[in-house]
Amino acid sequence: MAQTIGSDQPGTEVDWTGIELVSTPVGKRPDLDFNGLSYASPGELRVAQLLTEQGIPFMPDVLTNWQPQGSDREFIYVPDFIFMMRTYVWISDDGLEPIHGLELKRRRTDGSYPGIGLKKIAALLQYRGIRIRLIDEMEARKMTHLPLRPLQ
């Protein structure tokens, strides 16, 4: 199923082919349960609560994959949240960013994120057109609202 990302990215399509909206058990903690699903961190739990409060449909820990052209190797990545194959807009001081999900990672002391997470997010965008917004785990724990709205 292909979906156009938005007018700011003409010709860019999202490829959801073969991706099932099923939560994959990845490092989940039973003490961080919400609506029958367990989460891996307090930040993930908080984001799940906020998405629910804001009426944004999501599935946690959805297995995504891609295979670079000419390669016999398949790569996988499990983003923390996928917005049920829909596009939402993240609103920030930097502008509007169309996204399809969220990933929480703890920033290093220098303010950067771990490289492997960044590489997987970039590859998912490159090979499938799926945009994942990276947010800081510690900031997510304190959030009272997610700056998201549906793409019109």
pLDDT, tens digit (0-9, with 9 covering 90-100), for 2-50 = 333 343 443 468 999 999 999 987 777 778 888 888 888 999 999 999 9
pLDDT, tens digit (0-9, with 9 covering 90-100), for 54-107 = 999 999 999 999 988 888 899 999 999 999 999 999 999 888 999 999 999 988
- Which comes out higher in pLDDT, residue 116 or 73? 73
Contacts of 41 (CB under 8 A, 6+ apart): 29, 32, 104, 137
Task: Say if CB 148 and CB 54 are below 8 A apart.
Answer: yes
Domain containing 6 equals 2-150
Return the sign of the alpha-carbon dihedral for residues 74, 80, 84, 89: negative
The tokens describing 126, both together, are 């490159």
The tokens describing 67, both together, are 């295979």
User: How many structural domains are present in the chain?
Assistant: 1
The tokens describing 19, both together, are 């991706």
